[in-house]
Structure 1
Amino acid sequence: MPRSIRAITATVAALLLATTACNSASTGGSSTDSKGGTSRGVTDDAIKVGGIVSMTTASGYSKKDTDLGARARFERANAAGGVHGRKIDYTGAEDDGQDPAKNLAAARKLVQRDKVFAIAPMSSVTFSGADFLQQQKVPTFGWGTIPPFCGPSYLYGFGGCMVPMPGGTITQSWPEGLKKVMHGSQGKTVAILANDNDAGTFAIRTYKQSFAAAGFKVTYAKSTVPATSVPNDWSAYTKAILRSNGGKAPDAVVSVMQTPYNIGLFTAVKRTGYRGILTDPTDYDPGLLSKSATKKALDGVHVLLAFQPFEQSSPAMKQFKADIRKTAGKDVPLNMHMMTGYMSADLFLAIADKAGKDLTVESFQKAADGYSDTGTMVGDRALPKGQKEAFGCGALVQLKGGAYRVSAPFKCYEPIPFK
């Protein structure tokens, strides 16, 4: 098995810690209250929280709106009086540039210099600061699509753990949603493509099992696309994919990559005359519709969501839209990054509220152990279950004619064992 993200995390952490020994990690900026609890970042009237987000990347892909989503949720909490009388002092998100060294540096800055109590959101596929934050006992919230959110006691995925280790489970929302779109899986074939990095390797391992368990025949499953830059020539990938079904094209092409890669892949696939299903877990962003070339490349694509679609008119969704509008100061196109920030903040707030007035890291962790609620925009949340498996809910939306429509309604599915 290739090295895990955690192995790379440990290596990068060791190098950086060696070069920054003058900043002792033994204290991490922590303080102890009169009862012996760790109260770093907590005062009588405030709780300091920071974020880490890939606002800039080498490919041009940005998650900057994750910060807006978190800010919107924290501002509503503060307007309602905060958490047991304490306002959330949100310092904003550090930009890690999707760079491992910068991710760890951002984590160290937030803990040792800014002395935050928690990090919400953490949104980057390069989470090299994970081991440091776990060691420093910093509650950290993000989208559990990478291994560090699966297992460590202080790291929480707002939708649960979505890339579990063996012994955990896999959510079935993607293949089950496609079964609705394709009117069943019997005799249907899928090809899966991901980036050549640890996240891509985990994705292939996960979804190969997931689609097979749902009754699909997986004809191709590889993480071979360079993660450092978008290919100019996709012919080698399209040729392999479109001949994978015994020399024929599969019924569906599944991309587990970010938007710039999906645009390139799907454009190349369409040029071959392919008429099957195209799907990915990334491109739910109305902002993409402002560019005609992008809109054309992604037209017809079914996008997996781990939360309620914006097109759904539930009370929670209406509140989300109102909060984003108020914080942005105007109507802005909604996207999944906003939801990532919002729901990361929302889960933090829910646990902090349960922890009560005497907020310490210890009381927070005690509140998290056994926390549960129902009917949220990511389904029914439960801890510590969510640190081992996903909450199991999802939907599919299809971009068609310049607008998104729900192609498989938001629903929770029974998970399968991850082997």
Structure 2
Amino acid sequence: MPRLLRAAGLVMVPVLLIAGCNSSTTGTDDSPARPGASVSDDPIKIGGIVSKTTASGYSKADTDLGAKARFMMANDEGGVNGREIDYIGAEDDFQDPARTITAARKLVQQDKVFAVVPVSTVTIGGSADFLRDNKTPYIGWGTLPAFCDKEYGYGYNGCLVPSPGRTVSTSWPGLLADVLGGNGQGRSVAILAQDNDAGKFGLRTYQQAFPGAGFTVSYGKATVPGTAVPTDWSPWVGEIMTSNNGKAPDAVVAIMQTPGNIGLFTALKRAGFQGILSDATDYDPALLKQAASREALQDVHVFVQNMPFESPLPEMAKFKEYISKAKGSPVTEWNQSMMVGWNSADLFVAIAKKAGPNLTVESFQAAAANFQDHYPLVGDRKFPQGRTESFGCAAMVQLKGEEYSITSPYKCFPTVPFT
């Protein structure tokens, strides 16, 4: 996974994907019949849409692997209420809206899938109406409006794109408060984001979330160029270092892609910053192979919206076991894309089991309407709440030397109003 581009799709900060949402391309099925599985003992056919290939070189291909692994485990355990899952793999949409709708049409009209799982593309917005019109459930990481307030769309950890009048999670500030001794009261934080729609939305979100955990936002700007990494960080560093009544803040939160984080954190360290540095994109073993990034990100606390791979939980052991089994060879490096595919598939399996042996779209939707459980790799899953708000669960990890360690355990946090 290319170092400079990996963060574009990680979106541990939900807002990093919003700019890619496209809602201009829609379509409807000309046939009145709903394609897909119905009441029978036949396998449940599932297919996904994943941006395996992109113009930038960034790939989410391992999302496909993650889903394949989870469905494989389900079949090994007897299927869904006795029915096997026929996972036909994920279509590559090349992160292009036109190809996304083509992939959706193929899966629904030709392959006749029951559901589209996983969905891991920033261009799914243009296909949401088509999937709705064809009564096709779809599941992915809820980082886009297509997973919020949509009848057939589900985010495996809820809706991460709050609308005004809804709520925003306090998980990131809550975890930072833990790192700082358990309380954000009296603590200050500086938030820096990129000058684009995603950065501005992220800034707005966290300017409201951090005070909810007791922090004072001493600095908040979305002024870093979104198209090129600055070579001179002194304007931002100078402002940040004096933002807390002439002093440096207790923490600096970067809502940027990895190249920007590296530049900012390096400059802050050179300026003598002694507080907490945090971002939401730099949890990737590939960083450990490159001396420059490894050095720049030392001691940085990374916000992680799934159970960290270092967890000793048996569910994490199963995840690793089946990732290797699905790949057909031992896997020793884990990434967020794998987890996105796995967790998307797991939510489908959990809802489908609740729907009972007579699985139809109607029974699936009815089961999902009031679905609640606890899955350790995601936390508390609740619908219909998950249609409008995040489940609010996350952890904090820190890079020390050549290893990540968990600095604040995975747990769920309350929400605060978002205006």
Shorter-chain TM-score category? 0.7 to 0.9
CA drift of 1:403 comes to 0.6
Which residue of the other structure, out of 116, 124, 129, is the alignment partner of 1:127?
124
Which residue of the other structure, out of 105, 113, 116, is the alignment partner of 1:116?
113
Deviations 1:259-318 (A, max 9, x none): 344334433443444332221222222232222222222221111122222222122122
Q: Identify which range, 270-279 or 174-183, moves more after superposition.
A: 270-279
CA drift of 1:256 comes to 2.4
On the 8 A contact 1:302/1:398 being kept in 2, the answer is yes
After superposition, residues 320-335 of structure 1 pair within 5 angstroms as 320-328=319-327, 329-335=329-335
Which residue of the other structure, out of 19, 25, 28, is the alignment partner of 1:26?
28
Q: Identify which range, 99-108 or 173-182, moves more after superposition.
A: 99-108
On the 8 A contact 1:351/1:364 being kept in 2, the answer is yes
Identity rate of aligned residues, in percent?
54
After superposition, residues 269-418 of structure 1 pair within 5 angstroms as 269-328=268-327, 329-418=329-418
Q: Secondary structure at the match of 2:47?
A: strand
Match in the other structure for 1:34 = none
On the 8 A contact 2:21/2:124 being kept in 1, the answer is no
Q: Secondary structure at the match of 1:9?
A: coil
* 1:171 counterpart letter in structure 2: S
Relative distance call for 1:110 and 1:265 in structure 2 (3 A) is: farther
CA drift of 1:194 comes to 3.1
Q: Distance in 1 between matches of 2:91 and 2:194?
A: 25
Q: What number of residue pairs does the alignment pair up?
A: 398
Relative distance call for 1:119 and 1:241 in structure 2 (3 A) is: farther
Match in the other structure for 2:45 = 48
Q: Distance in 2 between matches of 1:320 and 1:256?
A: 29
CA drift of 1:408 comes to 0.8
* 1:344 counterpart letter in structure 2: S
Deviations 1:235-275 (A, max 9, x none): 25545544544554432221223334433443344344433
* 2:66 aligned with 1:69: yes
Relative distance call for 1:272 and 1:207 in structure 2 (3 A) is: same
Q: Distance in 1 between matches of 2:66 and 2:303?
A: 19
Match in the other structure for 1:9 = 22
CA drift of 1:224 comes to 4.0
Aligned-residue RMSD, C-alpha: 2.7
CA drift of 1:69 comes to 1.1
Relative distance call for 1:8 and 1:143 in structure 2 (3 A) is: closer
Q: Distance in 2 between matches of 1:263 and 1:127?
A: 30
Q: Distance in 2 between matches of 1:336 and 1:110?
A: 25
On the 8 A contact 1:173/1:394 being kept in 2, the answer is yes
Match in the other structure for 2:154 = 156
CA drift of 1:65 comes to 1.9
TM-score by length of 1: 0.85
Match in the other structure for 2:205 = 206
TM-score by length of 2: 0.85
Gaps in structure 2 of 5+ consecutive residues: 1-16
Relative distance call for 1:7 and 1:376 in structure 2 (3 A) is: closer
CA drift of 1:134 comes to 3.0
Q: Distance in 2 between matches of 1:280 and 1:407?
A: 14
Q: Distance in 1 between matches of 2:114 and 2:194?
A: 34
Q: Distance in 1 between matches of 2:209 and 2:220?
A: 12
* 2:78 aligned with 1:81: yes
